[in-house]
Structure 1
Amino acid sequence: MYEVLVKSAPAAVEAGASAYRHTALVFLERGAARHPGRVAVVDERSSYTYGQLFSRARRAGSGLIAGGYAGAPVVLFMEKGSLMLAAMFGVLAAGGCYVPVDMAAPVERSRAVLKASGARAVIAAASDREAARERFPEADVLAAEELVECPVDVAGLARVARGIVDSDAAYVLFTSGSTGTPKGVVVSHRAIVDFVGTFVETFGLRPDDILGNQAPFDFDVSVKDIYGSLAAGARLVILPRRLFSAPSELMDALRAHRVTVMVWAVAALCLLSALRGLERADLPRVRFVMFSGEVMPPHHLRLWMERLPQARFVNLYGPTEVTCNCLFHEVDRERAYGDGLPLGEPFSNRRVLVLDGAGHEVRGSGEVGELYVGGSALASGYAGDDERTARAFVRNPLQPLVRETLYRTGDLVRLGDGGELFFCGRADNQIKHLGHRIELEEIDAAFERQPGVLRCRCAYDARRQRICAFVEGADLDVRALRHAAARVLPGPFVPAAVVPVETMPLTKNGKVDRAELLRLHADRRAVSPN
């Protein structure tokens, strides 16, 4: 089977030339040429070598071209795994862009994504084809298993490859929009190649690395796993979602697969440590733990660092619109971090600016401004939404000669004494309460500094006009906690309600869902101010 698949690879690749040098497929193409027999990806059911994965991608691309979907967006309605990867790369080989959709998402949201993306085709596993047809009645539903067995159209693939330019869309990831309508972040081949090459070089990812994938493929944390492993010539191990509610099994899987690199969402790390999954952690091969998505609670970080003394921990920052990350900070085990973890320094070829409301650069220690990001790895904009794109992707006010685009993150940061940047909260998570502008993350941090508090997330109850703090921890005295917070927070910042919770609900993107916390515990009694 392996020999047949490798023989179907194009002669140009075998000879060292590249058909996809300007595209995100270049990493897989290069791996298939240099080490076709090396394992590229492993999931619960199967594994593909680099040669096999590239061959299946070309077969899927040929099938899409034959079906009339060349250069088109294609929705992927699949559980993450090796087959989904082959389908994703097949879409790229056909000159299109892939649009992953969470299979557990509400039907109306899924249909909104299909409409916004402009896709006519949906790829699903054969076992899920009928479910896909019910969910997307207006789309053509294609079986992934059939696509990856299509005959290779060498001439058709070559023709399509010649027409791809690096500014073409490679994927569209839909995130929550402030209006309730999903917004599709369009990311180009150029942005992926730029960021991934820098990411691998910065952290020295190697061919002997094994990356343990946590994130779903519709979440941009997975982009680092997928393309980072291919760029390094490494192996990707896709960990199924069910393991994250079974800590002992997850630890066994990480150890059995000899995982060396973990690029995970903060919420996933916190979930594992909160469920006491670290108590039996024996992961001596892990050399990197990189985390992103939200602020890492100090208690959970300490637990992980104690259990993995050999590992390097890295705080990554960046929204989907900047293609994964733009800042990074490697945690210093000897530093106290009294002001919290800094966001770090920019990756190569990233411009990071802190601007005030008038567009002037913020330079003074202790001053707060909004973070703006520039560089060639920025997303192209939002799918079919020029107005939203124009609001978020703006001209650099400090560059008068030519137009340079910056992404306005909406994140507020404070400049530290040494020029370090510290996350202060969201501009759109800022509330007005009792005449004061308040960042909820500031209150979170105050509670997380109290003994026994594992994590705190606050939400604003607009109906009752009060701040509610939701805290995780064992045997917490909520009245004492509130008084302790009152000693370090201004009066209007002190929550009216402190509510102990066992777990915190997550959004689809793996962040704590503050609105859902408020809804679940709306009727809990507030702690008396006295």
Structure 2
Amino acid sequence: MISQDGEVKMKSVTEYLDHSAAVYPDKIAIVDQYRSITFKDLRKEALHIASYIIRHFQLFHRPVCFYLDKSASCISAMMGIAYSGNFYTPIDTKMPQARIEKILETLENPVILTDKAHQEKVRNFMGVTDVFCLEDAFQEPCEESAVYEKVDKIIDTDVLYVLFTSGSTGTPKGVIIGHRSVIDYIEWVVETFHMDADTVFGNQAPFYFDNSILDIYSMLKTGATMYIIPQMYFAFPIKLLEYMQKNLINTIFWVPSALCLVANLRALPKRHVDSLSKILFCGEVMPNKQLNQWRREYPDALYGNLYGPTEITDVCAAYIVDRNFRDDEALPMGKACRNTEIFLLDENDRLVNAPEKEGELCVRGTCLAYGYYNNPEKTKAAFVQNPLNHSYSETIYRTGDLVKYNERGELVYICRKDYQIKLMGHRIELGEIETAASAVAGVTQNCCVFDDRRQKIVMFYTGSIEEKGLSTSLKGMIPDYMIPGKFIRLKIMPLNLNGKMDRVLLKQKLEE
């Protein structure tokens, strides 16, 4: 727990829920479209789940999946699995069957928690033998003493969750994160962004996406309230803003695509959310054109550009927006989070310090994942010995992201290493083209991919501008050799399960 001098001495995230349930027992913790639940009842549900797992399965340090609609019950499941000394993997009910089967195969057919509504469907999954329902766990008596015998055996390096991420390949990889990494991250988040029991989160991120870690565990630590915003509202921005206003939401942590949707559909001036004071975003590049629209509508809000892949517990760098930017400028990523070191390596694994010189962003610290579940080959490629340290074993994570320092010493994102191409002798970062196009009037979203077969840059975009007009506008902003060879206007930009632009699907469209 937390000592009298404020020093954090925790070994399990379940201590967050124990603390909030004791201090704020009757305060609403989570509101979804089905119900609201207090901290006391959230803990009660979690303990029943833990007790059931211990009694019926005798598992410890093993994966337990939950297959549930996005709801407060998912948080009960997460905490119940954690209390039992095991680790969780969320499986969303909207996930494609093939992806679910791959996840279960990687986890070697784990126990699955579901509810009566989905029980039959879960039993049809490949190789699943052990399935239990929330309703059954809640009906059985809770042996709290047996639960805390397990809790006492947990240490802070034990695994908390395995989240599956596809990255640019489309093949799911199970990222393994421990209790200590989440605790380290959440302590920084709460302190940096001044979150407390008065914070009201408007959750957008799916629970199988690492962005949700900030909402969930900040809520559990501080006694804040989290509203799980129904997904349908993101298709109707005015209704979304009305929902936020009605429920006094003051803090959001969304993917940029969600923020851009609200800005692009001109909803911001039509419905003001008086309570909104913190606007954080992460997961992809946030274009300044749309960010500036938010800043004009909410000039006094705190804006935070957070960066980090799933492999470093969600976020390893942050920039609190402190100055104005033109629409065609790149927004900085800022600097490393507390207790995390970020450094850049060039193609020869030499340290990059000079401003404007690009390098691959590498990370070391408590935030690092333990690798990919049952995938030693991928783990070995990304989690490597620090090439700057030849004296002892020290693991770093190579993100595959190319970045640079600006003149202020802030990190600035360029693109993925696999988005950097060579064309006609020129080295080109596709992200630079996207940044330029984002500032063009009449462009709402855009994404560049490289057609390897035809050796051509292709830009997919949405907006009112014609292809020829977009090409002409770009000629005044970037060199001729960077102008895409083909422009494809779409009615809607495809998004992946996490709400980010689906580059894999766009790449596949080139072959159609």
From 79, 103, 108, the counterpart of 2:69: 79
For 2:123 and 2:478, the matched residues in 1 are separated by 54
Amino acid at match of 1:380: Y
For 1:437 and 1:104, the matched residues in 2 are separated by 40
- Counterpart check, 1:134 vs 2:147: no
From 506, 509, 512, the counterpart of 1:517: 506
SS in structure 2 of the partner of residue 98 of structure 1: strand
Assess if the C-alpha contact under 8 Å between 2:288 and 2:325 holds in 1: no
- Counterpart check, 1:36 vs 2:32: no
- Counterpart check, 1:459 vs 2:449: yes
Tell me how far 1:136 sits from its aligned partner.
4.3
Q: 5+ residue gaps in structure 2?
A: 3-8
SS in structure 1 of the partner of residue 443 of structure 2: coil
- Counterpart check, 1:427 vs 2:417: yes
Amino acid at match of 1:60: I
The CA deviation string for residues 458-511 of structure 1, in whole angstroms up to 9 with x for no partner, is: 11122332111122222x132132123233333332111122223210122222
Compared with structure 1, are the counterparts of its residues 275 and 128 closer, same or farther at alpha carbon in structure 2 (3 Å cutoff)? farther
Compared with structure 1, are the counterparts of its residues 181 and 457 closer, same or farther at alpha carbon in structure 2 (3 Å cutoff)? closer
From 190, 193, 199, the counterpart of 1:200: 190
- Counterpart check, 1:405 vs 2:395: yes
Compared with structure 1, are the counterparts of its residues 429 and 374 closer, same or farther at alpha carbon in structure 2 (3 Å cutoff)? same
SS in structure 1 of the partner of residue 177 of structure 2: strand
Moved more, 233-242 or 128-137: 128-137
Amino acid at match of 1:349: N
TM-score, structure 1 length as denominator?
0.91
From 433, 442, 445, the counterpart of 2:432: 442
For 2:382 and 2:293, the matched residues in 1 are separated by 37
- Counterpart check, 1:506 vs 2:495: yes
For 1:339 and 1:310, the matched residues in 2 are separated by 21
Moved more, 78-87 or 397-406: 397-406
Tell me how far 1:117 sits from its aligned partner.
1.8
Tell me how far 1:514 sits from its aligned partner.
2.5
Compared with structure 1, are the counterparts of its residues 120 and 516 closer, same or farther at alpha carbon in structure 2 (3 Å cutoff)? closer
Amino acid at match of 1:285: S
For 1:174 and 1:43, the matched residues in 2 are separated by 24
Matched residue, 1:354: 344
Tell me how far 1:35 sits from its aligned partner.
1.8
For 1:421 and 1:337, the matched residues in 2 are separated by 18
For 2:167 and 2:356, the matched residues in 1 are separated by 31
Equivalences for residues 227-266 of structure 1 within 5 A:
227-266=217-256
Equivalences for residues 277-296 of structure 1 within 5 A:
277-296=267-286
Moved more, 434-443 or 344-353: 434-443
From 124, 142, 154, the counterpart of 1:164: 154
- Counterpart check, 1:468 vs 2:461: no
SS in structure 2 of the partner of residue 127 of structure 1: coil
For 2:170 and 2:448, the matched residues in 1 are separated by 21
Amino acid at match of 1:300: Q
For 2:345 and 2:420, the matched residues in 1 are separated by 17
SS in structure 2 of the partner of residue 198 of structure 1: helix
Assess if the C-alpha contact under 8 Å between 1:88 and 1:98 holds in 2: yes
The CA deviation string for residues 171-190 of structure 1, in whole angstroms up to 9 with x for no partner, is: 11101155543100011001
Assess if the C-alpha contact under 8 Å between 2:400 and 2:416 holds in 1: yes
For 1:444 and 1:425, the matched residues in 2 are separated by 10
Compared with structure 1, are the counterparts of its residues 450 and 246 closer, same or farther at alpha carbon in structure 2 (3 Å cutoff)? closer
The CA deviation string for residues 380-402 of structure 1, in whole angstroms up to 9 with x for no partner, is: 11001112111111122223333
Matched residue, 1:26: 15
Compared with structure 1, are the counterparts of its residues 507 and 76 closer, same or farther at alpha carbon in structure 2 (3 Å cutoff)? same
The CA deviation string for residues 114-147 of structure 1, in whole angstroms up to 9 with x for no partner, is: 1112342111121111111123452322112222
Assess if the C-alpha contact under 8 Å between 2:30 and 2:225 holds in 1: yes
For 2:328 and 2:436, the matched residues in 1 are separated by 11
Amino acid at match of 1:56: E
RMSD over aligned CA atoms reads 2.0
Amino acid at match of 2:24: H
Matched residue, 1:528: none
Assess if the C-alpha contact under 8 Å between 1:80 and 1:217 holds in 2: yes
The CA deviation string for residues 20-64 of structure 1, in whole angstroms up to 9 with x for no partner, is: 931111211111122211111111111111111111101110001
Amino acid at match of 2:372: Y
Assess if the C-alpha contact under 8 Å between 1:284 and 1:308 holds in 2: no
Tell me how far 1:352 sits from its aligned partner.
0.6
For 2:167 and 2:439, the matched residues in 1 are separated by 32
From 83, 96, 100, the counterpart of 2:90: 100
Assess if the C-alpha contact under 8 Å between 2:289 and 2:327 holds in 1: no
For 2:169 and 2:294, the matched residues in 1 are separated by 37
Matched residue, 2:469: 480
For 2:117 and 2:437, the matched residues in 1 are separated by 47
SS in structure 2 of the partner of residue 277 of structure 1: coil
Amino acid at match of 1:463: R
Assess if the C-alpha contact under 8 Å between 1:28 and 1:231 holds in 2: yes
Count of matched residue positions in the alignment of Structure 1 and Structure 2: 505
Assess if the C-alpha contact under 8 Å between 1:378 and 1:407 holds in 2: yes
Moved more, 21-30 or 318-327: 21-30
Assess if the C-alpha contact under 8 Å between 2:364 and 2:397 holds in 1: yes
SS in structure 2 of the partner of residue 387 of structure 1: helix
TM-score, structure 2 length as denominator?
0.94
Matched residue, 1:224: 214
For 1:259 and 1:493, the matched residues in 2 are separated by 42
